[in-house]
Structure 1
């Protein structure tokens, strides 16, 4: 499992079906890939499960006690307070900032005959977008340093998930991880202190202001450390999902030129050369289908954080005692031929308005149930806006003889090697 988690889970699904019991002493672990049972677990019986203690412990090393790691009433209170900042109406107000970041980035891209570092470029753009939405700031040298730090802590965190306990970060051999965490914490702290140094009436309307307002209203429930924790989670999750998905989407477009051409025609027809606005996004339906299909093949979170039952659970006729561990892997469910015929193929038409309905629980790139990703609307709006502007400016293809990139799971799903693709700038 530590060498190839997704491949191992897929092998077990094919051999044993949609619910598989593992005995990993001292735990009983159940892998659930049957969509009906996934919904039963995460939606109907959500109040019987909690997130895996070890997984939360690893994530909390950097995220602290944020909405990502909190449980019970603490989680409900945080989620309720944060939800308005990620509602569709609020997200639409961010589209101009997303467009501005994309325009700035694409103007600076200088593709030539050599393959372009598309993964790194989209990661930098994703950071610029989240910095604008969180801090009303633009990406700079310090933020770019964070790109490497995010990769370092992701690899280290994924590795520690397979350990029963972690050595303290002060250990000499953890120096690289320690430095990476310091870079990310310093980035958050700089923006927090800069905001506190100016008059409240001059604060811009962004995520940090929303969080600091909660702090001012109720400092006991929202101390400054809680603000720092939520900023860290928003920064990491806010750019990683979009950057990873856009990277895989660019590969899908490069590998399927006919689909790329069809979506570009839609973009040109809808936008007529201008930047997308919030009201344009629903009209880009074919583009949305390519992004959905990308999320099916390469979900940014291919394995949801495991859950533990705190009381007996009945699932699909099986009775599981309290303290049973449950694992739900969207990366396996999404490639099941029972729900997606020819599952390895890139077929955006699966998500068209006139396509057959997809089994509920079979497509869950952002999770499902009460703990569905709070930022899903923001991620989809960001990815649609950036993808549309990308197609307005570039054609993308794979270098001759290039093999498909191999997905690697390190908290999120990324190519094993840095992805480089050929870009040609379109005529103005």
Structure 2
């Protein structure tokens, strides 16, 4: 529908869908103008935030204004580029342990489930200094149930109470995740301070000890929940699509593997290796272009008049930024349906600012973008060194569906084999 609007009416489209005035912005220059220059005149769609607050509480994902600014400032240092690079040994160790259990060959390996479990392990280690263990599959199911329920709820005028019989799965899934977070917080508080590991939970609990009014335990739990959910779901979705792109594009897969073998040899990846894995990084960038984890950014509402190009739009307008539509625009990405990692080569790229938004833009750009890129590069390199991936015989290509993040319409399974010498 959004693509049809763009074809018929251009890059800035006004639609009256009572009681709202919607404006879709798909021009890169106007997108940056909206999200960067006008960020202080926007809030996220209230209904969407109410739905997500039932899972995330009042975390940095949900908060607005000064509350958001304070949370973002406190959390920023934990997700900096240097912190992400310092985490490379832990990512490598988690990935090596997980992949050691994968078979050398498989005709239909449940690669999406395995990558989701790995992504959970990595983010839980960053947040709690522990992995996911035997809970991985049940937690993954709970995340999927909550995502599906949130997608449905957002487009209803109100959410019914969780005690309703048909909300049993949602109720149980949320209880499972709350239990996971709560157990870690309680276990940490039971230890003396000098026994706490240096992780996100300890740093948040230190904030609680310094200022319990600003950082009550409820706020600590909320941030841990958001870090866990946002920190694994988008990474798992992108790595899943990346394996499909590798399976569907064997020449790109071979080129990336050659780079991995040349740069790493048999060595474990380190922070120093990442800059040299440019080909691997470009395959990930192109995957995020084709299959952005957030195909449409959270809609924003203007809280004051907003100047956008030649227009002055009033307070109360709802703005939509269709990331996937922009990523598939042939003006910015020639042959947009073709997997071409070389388009991200800095020596030849002509991608305008605002045309590539896998992590959003402006002050609310994804907090975990450095950690996500670092983790995905390490995992991709280790996977390429051990296996070649391809589509099982007779496999129908996966169809992308929206479930909070963009995922295959059915759990992805791929053939694993020993890579060619």
Task: Tell me which interval the TM-score lies in, with the shorter structure as reference length.
Answer: over 0.9
Contact 1:281 1:384 in 2 (8 A): yes
Contact 2:104 2:387 in 1 (8 A): no
Give the whole-Å Cα distance in 2 for the aligned partners of 1:196 and 1:153: 28
Question: Is the Cα contact below 8 Å between 1:92 and 1:278 reproduced in 2?
Answer: yes
What does residue range 59-138 of structure 1 map to in structure 2 within 5 Å?
59-110=52-103, 112-138=105-131
Q: Which of residues 234, 239, 244 is equivalent to 1:241?
A: 234
Partner of 2:161: 168
CA RMSD of aligned residues (A): 1.2
Within 1, Cα distance between the matches of 2:280 and 2:292? Answer: 17
Counterpart residue number, 1:287: 280
1:141 aligns with 2:134: yes
* C-alpha distance in 1 between matches for 2:389 and 2:98: 16
Equivalence for 1:205: 198
2:297 maps to what in 1? 304
2:94 & 2:44 partners in 1: Cα distance? 35
Structure 1 residue 143, shift from structure 2 partner: 3.7
Find the counterpart in structure 1 of residue 362 from structure 2. 369
Aligned partner of 2:257 in structure 1 is 264
CA distance in 2, matches of 1:312, 1:80: 27
Taking the aligned partners of 1:117 and 1:157, their CA distance within structure 2 comes to: 25
Moved more, 253-262 or 213-222: 213-222
Per the alignment, residue 308 of structure 2 pairs with 315
1:358 aligns with 2:358: no
Aligned residues: 421
Extract unaligned runs of 5+ from structure 1. Answer: 1-7
**Deviation, structure 1 residue 361:** 0.2
- State how far apart, in whole Å, the 1-side matches of 2:7 and 2:328 are: 11
Which whole-Å deviations, capped at 9, do the CAs of 1:153-190 have from their partners, x for residues lacking one?
00110111111211112211111111111111100001
| 1:241 positional shift | 1.0
Contact 2:146–2:174, Cα closer than 8 Å, also in 1:
yes
Say if 1:333 and 1:362, in contact at 8 Å, map to a contact too: yes
Deviation at 1:112, TM superposition (A): 3.5
Give deviations 1:107-140, integer Å, cap 9, x for gaps: 0112544311111110011011111111111221
Q: Distance in 1 between matches of 2:350 and 2:266?
A: 34
Corresponding residue for 2:25?
A: 32
Q: TM-score, normalised by structure 2?
A: 0.98
| 2-structure distance, mates of 1:283, 1:315 | 40
Distance in 2, matches of 1:278 and 1:271, equals 12
4+ aligned runs moved over 3 Å, structure 1 = 425-428
C-alpha displacement of 1:152: 0.3
Structure 2 residue 223 is the aligned partner of structure 1 residue 223: no
| SS at 1:22 equivalent | strand
Whole-Å separation in 2 of the counterparts to 1:362 and 1:258: 26
Q: CA deviation at 1:426?
A: 4.5
Q: Distance in 1 between matches of 2:214 and 2:190?
A: 22
Q: 1:356 to 1:142 in 2, by over 3 A?
A: closer
TM-score when normalising by structure 1: 0.96
Q: Which runs of 5+ in 2 are unaligned?
A: none
Question: What is the SS of the residue equivalent to 2:109?
Answer: coil
